[in-house]
Amino acid sequence: MARIAGIDVYLHVTFLLLLAYFAFVGWQGAGGIGALFFATLVILLFGCVLLHEFGHAFAGRFYGINTPDITLLPIGGVARMDKMPDQPMEEMVVALAGPMVNVVIALGLGLVMLVSGILNVGLLLSAFSGNLNAFPNLPTALLHILLLNNVILVVFNLVPAFPMDGGRVLRALLAMTMPFPQATQLAAAIGKTLAIGFAVIGLLYSPMLILLAAFVFIGAQQEARSVQLRSMTNGVGIREVLITHFKSLSPHASLHDAIDALLSSYQHDFPVVDESGRYLGLLTRTEMLGSVRQSGFDIEVAMIMRRDIQPVPLSIQLEEAMQRLEAETVSALPVVDTFGRVIGLLASENISEMVLVREAISGSGR
């Protein structure tokens, strides 16, 4: 959609389906005016979500953490940071920055509505129940619904369970008195307990709570697994997971040659090197398939390889290299020596295999 303050803002295509759905609901109820009202409401609500994510991003930037992009999804927004805060207090500030943006929006809307004389607690309750007939006009309804939903965003995001911001706040508080991995495991366990509670209540009263329970339970598992992975790779060198049997391509090779390499190996991404083996770029499967459709098989690899993907030096630790890998949209990153020559590949699949082996060894007691 745009690039704001150095951050790319993406809109997932499924958001358009959500917008179309609510516009259709509004059209069924009140024709064109209803469709326009609901479409405007959805856009403004997701504008608030976008500001929420920028709150996280700017707080992270204060601590030197870059946010390459923010993606708006039908279920909310995702600010993709290149690493997590190192200190508990930093994580707490970054986690709270998003909900605080919604607090400011809610207070601002409330002040404007109070000064203009349209703020009404009864109308807020009507907005909560979805009774639009209680409002004297659509602008009044729009402002009350926006105010209410920003309050809901604050409350929802502060639920002390991953992947909500409240889960990160809880972990930060726990990490002040215990090691970070233990704090994560405890916060994840609390989140799973809450998820089970949501599921039980949902069975009795609201099926939506069952969906929320599944969302929270899976989020807690993923966060616990992610931290466990980082903990097990702490202090490990890249050599332990380096893929040394790989294929590289010449910049003058044709796309036909690249497709042959893709089909005859397990690699999805191929380093492009010069005569001395020095890294020039990375040719990904995505670029290959897209170029076949547009340019045919005869185009040279140098014309379509990605030059923005930086290689990983062999000297850095695996934990830092993993952060680099997670920040890119590729399955593997080239690893280079001090002369810039590609000596191997770092793949997320290989890292997972190493963790499985370490877990097996740990479980055997050896």
Of residues 209 and 232, more confidence is placed in 209
Find the distance separating the first CA and the last CA of the chain, reported in whole Å. Answer: 53
Span 277-315, pLDDT tens digits: 999 999 988 888 888 777 777 888 888 888 888 888 888
Neighbouring C-alpha atoms within 13 Å toward the C-beta of 296: 2
pLDDT exceeds cutoff 70 at 201: yes
Q: What is the mean pLDDT of residues 222-247?
A: 75
Span 168-194, mean pLDDT? 87
Q: What is the band of 364 on the pLDDT scale with cuts at 50, 70, 90?
A: low
Work out the number of other CB atoms within 10 angstroms of the CB of residue 152: 13
pLDDT digits (tens, 9 = 90+) for 100-156: 999 999 999 889 888 888 877 777 777 776 666 776 777 888 888 888 889 988 988
Which of the pair, 162 or 247, is modelled with greater confidence?
247
Is CATH 3.10.580.10 the right assignment for the domain spanning 238-357?
Answer: yes
- Does the pLDDT at position 236 exceed 80? no
pLDDT value for 264: 87
**pLDDT recorded at residue 234:** 66
Query: pLDDT at residue 5 above 80?
Result: yes
pTM of the model: 0.70
Q: What is the pLDDT of residue 71?
A: 86
Domain boundaries, the chain: 1-158, 164-233, 238-357
As annotated, the active-site residues are: 53
Res. 69: pLDDT tops 90: no
Indicate the Cα dihedral angle 23, 27, 28, 29, nearest 10°. 100
Percent of the chain with pLDDT over 90: 15
Encode 345-360: b = buried (16+ Cβ within 10 Å), e = exposed: bbbbebbeebbeeeee
Q: Are 170 and 160 in contact (CB under 8 A)?
A: yes
pLDDT for 103 equals 94
Q: What are the structure tokens assigned to 351, written together?
A: 């890292």
Average pLDDT over residues 12-21: 83
For residue 142, what is the enclosing H or E element? helix 138-157
Length of the chain equals 366
Which pLDDT score, from 0 to 100, does residue 130 have? 66
